[in-house]
Structure 1
Amino acid sequence: MKPYLFAAISAGFLATSFAASAADGPAILESKCASCHALTQPENSALDHVWERKGPDLYYAGDKFNKPWLVEWLQDPIRIRPAGEFYFKHVKKGDKVDVVDESTLTEHPKLAKADAEAAADALMALTGPEGLIEKGKFKDKKASPMAKMLFTKLRGCYACHSTGDGKGGLSGPELHTGGERLQPDFIYSYIKDPQKIDKSVWMPKLNISEQDLQNLTSYIVQLSGKKEAK
């Protein structure tokens, strides 16, 4: 085969493969994700929806996640919620406190790299209703020395969330990968008014000052999963 003909065929094959992979993103979401996650905004957002769902809603995934994290995580998922989506269903009585009942939890499916990239593209295309996330309100400043104390002691975040230091609660998602995983505008908006984004979620609305809101967001943004912010 002549070199130019081989090159043309190869280029066509690569283009076709790429197009198929990109086109498969929504199909991958339907086959792999839809049974546990809401890909469109649920008509019912009351408590029974939160109680019954197996994974977090994804209809606003493009406003929530950072794409590079999605691509990596979908290939090698590590549990974000230590006690599952609804922790009451996945804990048992321990010697002193409730502990996670691992037997009730299932592993998240892994995707091949090409499928993970296609699924991540499809997820990033899912955005919520206008105004769901407050865009541009976070000032992207370095967290003040008080930020960690706000998180661990003054605002009670440690009761439900961990930051990778062996402390913190199990009922909410871990936040030691928060900066890699979540967009700053989402973090800011969710802390400010969790029920605006997830109507019946049990995270309390803190009613905190704008300065504290900026500081808490800055603290979480700096958490990369590698080294906790000082």
Structure 2
Amino acid sequence: MIKLLLSTLAAAAALGAAAPSHAASGAELLKSQCVACHAVTKPAEASVERLLQRKGPDLYYAGSKFNRDWLTAWLQQPTVLRPGGAMFLNAVKPGEAGSADVVDAAKVTPHPKLNAADAAAAADALMALTTPDLVAKGAFKGDPVNASMASLLFNKLRGCASCHSAKPGAGGGSGPELFSAGDRLQPDYVVEYIRNPQKFDPHVWMPRLDLTDADVQKLSGYINTLKQGGAK
């Protein structure tokens, strides 16, 4: 009986040693499928040219930005987060009869789908990419949100809706949609990005608004309430 138990344990140990780890398979996925479009390590040098030419957003701080459950689900069923692609200037075309420019959907490449196992492995690898120097824990205070005032701040007073949509089909398309932001983004990241977008990339086109901390918290709290099926 003891010999049988020992042999069983040895076989299990050998199987565990032979099987690739979740993190290792995730790292391989990042290397084989992600790095062609995304920076998974911090670029050595930031430049306007790099920003204009990149095919997808930087992911070297993904673990400080995304929520893992959302990331795992999204990688299996990707939705359009940036109507104009990673760099909207490369996807716009003139509108008809002198109307405003529109996005040429043919120039926006859809994100590939992963199966459930690969999505989980890739999500684990991405969540390991954290940058404490960019996103400080506890930046979001979690104060109660006055929805009407925060919505006014977002849509009118600070002009966020000119680039972002808080509801499907409403708002600008030069920035990522925010109607799923509460599912997608960590509140601490939202706070830090609103405070200083250029800390993440000195050439990114989102303006630094120099808001008071109270307004940053209000906007971040509002954005955190924007979730699929419950957009405000």
TM over 0.5: yes
Taking the TM superposition and a 5 Å limit, the aligned residue runs for 1:181-192 are: 181-192=184-195
C-alpha distance in 1 between matches for 2:23 and 2:136? 29
**Alignment partner, residue 138 of structure 1:** 140
**Could you tell me which of 109, 112, 127 is aligned with 1:109?**
112
Local SS of the residue matching 2:82: coil
Runs of 4+ in 1 over 2 A off after TM superposition: 7-23
**Alignment partner, residue 126 of structure 2:** 123
Taking the TM superposition and a 5 Å limit, the aligned residue runs for 1:159-174 are: 159-174=162-177
Unaligned runs of 5+ in 2: none
Taking the TM superposition and a 5 Å limit, the aligned residue runs for 1:78-227 are: 78-95=79-96, 96-128=99-131, 130-144=132-146, 145-227=148-230
C-alpha distance in 2 between matches for 1:17 and 1:158? 52
Between the two proteins, what is the percent identity of the paired residues? Answer: 48
Contact 1:133 1:185 in 2 (8 A): yes
Shift of 1:11: 6.9
Distance 1:39 1:165, change over 3 A: closer
Contact 2:180 2:231 in 1 (8 A): no
Contact 1:21 1:115 in 2 (8 A): no
**148-157 or 90-99: which moved more?**
90-99
TM-score, normalised by the number of residues in structure 1? 0.90
Contact 2:193 2:200 in 1 (8 A): yes
Local SS of the residue matching 1:24: helix
RMSD: 2.2
- The aligned amino acid for 1:185 is D
**Alignment partner, residue 61 of structure 1:** 62
Contact 2:82 2:176 in 1 (8 A): yes
Contact 1:28 1:119 in 2 (8 A): yes
C-alpha distance in 2 between matches for 1:47 and 1:131? 22
C-alpha distance in 2 between matches for 1:14 and 1:175? 44
Local SS of the residue matching 1:174: coil
